Amino acid sequence: MSLLRTYKTLPLELARGEDVRVWDTAGREYLDLYAGHAVCSTGHCHPHIVKAVQEQVGRLIFYSNVAAFPLREEAAALLLKHAPAFHAALFANSGAEANENALKMARRHTGRPDVVAMEGGFHGRTAGAISATGIEKYRKQSEPLVPGITFVPFGRIPPLTERTAAVILEPVQSMAGCRTAPPEYFRELRELCTRNGTVLIYDEVQTGIGRTGTMFFSGRHGVDADLVTLAKAIGSGIPLSAVLVSKAIADKVQYGEYGATFGAGPVAMAAMKATLEVVDGLLPNVVEVGRYLAKCSERVRGVREVRGLGFLLGLKLEAEAPAVQRALLERGVIVGTADEPGVIRLLPPLTLSHVHVDRFVRTLGEVLRDAPAAAEAR
């Protein structure tokens, strides 16, 4: 065994993918409602993405930010066109790195040390990101933690002080089982941060790039964050992350404060540009089929609750989630689990159609009919 044993894997060995389907090495087909953890939002091997990446690989695989190339500017401009409340973007490689940069920006911008984060939030595995993660088991593994971070329940307005640099939150808490909060919560939080001179950070590593039916969650309910972090779907699987930065913050950034060798590399930017072009046309599908998926899932016997938005849904079950996940896999459907026991997560490609939903709910119904109720969920 040459890979470090840190990932729990499904009994699934993949050979290839196309749109919402993947095939294993034995040639068996699966309906993918997990998308490699919310990454493959344009569907597997979308021809527009494949073409853009292949062309760029043949032209210039890499050059760092010391030299400009037109595609980098074009791709960044397209991202900002979708995010008119923001002034500039900083590119890096992973969600955790984007959050590290956002936390640093907030602290430097305000000159304050403290951060308020949410119980149940997940922000990545690097030192700062894990320290802001509101799930104790992950923080415990990573001690000693970065100081100055406190936690409040998601959905409750936190007390801020003159030391609070930032409030960071996932607008839909994915790992915690796809929980979100009412519009008034986001509006009140925005007002409070503005009044207190605190930077509001939305971690949109999962909600960003169309997953909830709008390109970003920021902008929803008339609320824009000051910093938005993006990763996962932004490059359709080519590693890339970004921080969208407000004008007030961008104006104060000095040369040399932020950087990453691979950030905004040519292949990643080609993938991002092509991804944005595809996702733009898929947003109505996310809204419509997302509603249909939620409605049909709610009606399945053994589903207690459906949470989340668009194609970021958590189904609270009466049965054990890992057992249901395995049983679905045996019937050719891939779903995720969550940190909350009893919840399966649906994070499909944004191309999912009504026909796929019908297949999923039919299969889920069969599985739940046979599944014993979980002790926890009863």
Residues that bind ligand PLP (CB under 6 A): 94-96, 99, 122-124, 170, 174, 203, 205-206, 231
| Closest by Cα among 230, 157, 228, 149 to 190 | 157
Using Cβ positions, the residue closest to ligand PLP within the complex turns out to be 95
| Least distance CB 173 / ligand PLP (angstroms) | 8
Query: Strand, helix or coil at 51?
Result: helix
Placement of tokens 């050979």 in the chain: 15
- Which CB, 38 or 327, lies closer to ligand PLP? 38
Measure the CA–CA gap between 237 and 92, rounded to whole angstroms.
14
**Nearest to ligand PLP of 44, 123 (CB atom):** 123
Phi, psi of 231 (to 5 degrees): -160, -135
Shortest Cβ distance from residue 68 to ligand PLP (Å)?
26
Query: To the nearest whole angstrom, how small is the minimum distance from the Cβ of residue 10 to ligand PLP?
Result: 17
Nearer to ligand PLP (CB atom), residue 99 or residue 297: 99
Nearer to ligand PLP, 228 or 231 (CB): 231
Q: Between residues 42 and 206, which has the closer beta carbon with respect to ligand PLP? A: 206
* Collapsed DSSP state (helix, strand, coil) of residue 89: strand
| Packing angle of the helix pair 321-330, 354-370 (nearest 10 deg) | 120
Q: Work out the widest C-alpha separation in the chain, in whole angstroms.
A: 61
C-alpha of 133 from chain center: 14
Q: Closer to ligand PLP by CB, 94 or 325: give it.
A: 94
- CA distances (Å), 321 to each of 166, 308, 367, in order? 35, 17, 11
- In 3D, which of 166, 164, 181, 184 has the Cα closest to residue 123? 166
Q: For ligand PLP, which is the closer residue by CB, 174 or 218?
A: 174
First to last CA, the chain: 40
Query: Cα–Cα distance between 62 and 57 in angstroms, integer?
Result: 8
User: How long is the chain?
Assistant: 378
Q: What is the closest distance, in whole angstroms, from the C-beta atom of residue 97 to ligand PLP in the complex?
A: 7
Residue type, 228: V
- Kindly state the smallest distance separating residue 220's Cβ from ligand PLP, in Å: 16
Which is nearer to ligand PLP, 123 or 190 (by Cβ)?
123
Q: How far apart are CA 82 and CA 277, in angstroms?
A: 11
Query: Residue 124 CB, nearest distance to ligand PLP (Å)?
Result: 3
CB of 95 to ligand PLP, least distance (A): 2
Cβ 188 to ligand PLP shortest distance, Å: 22
Per DSSP, 44 falls in state B
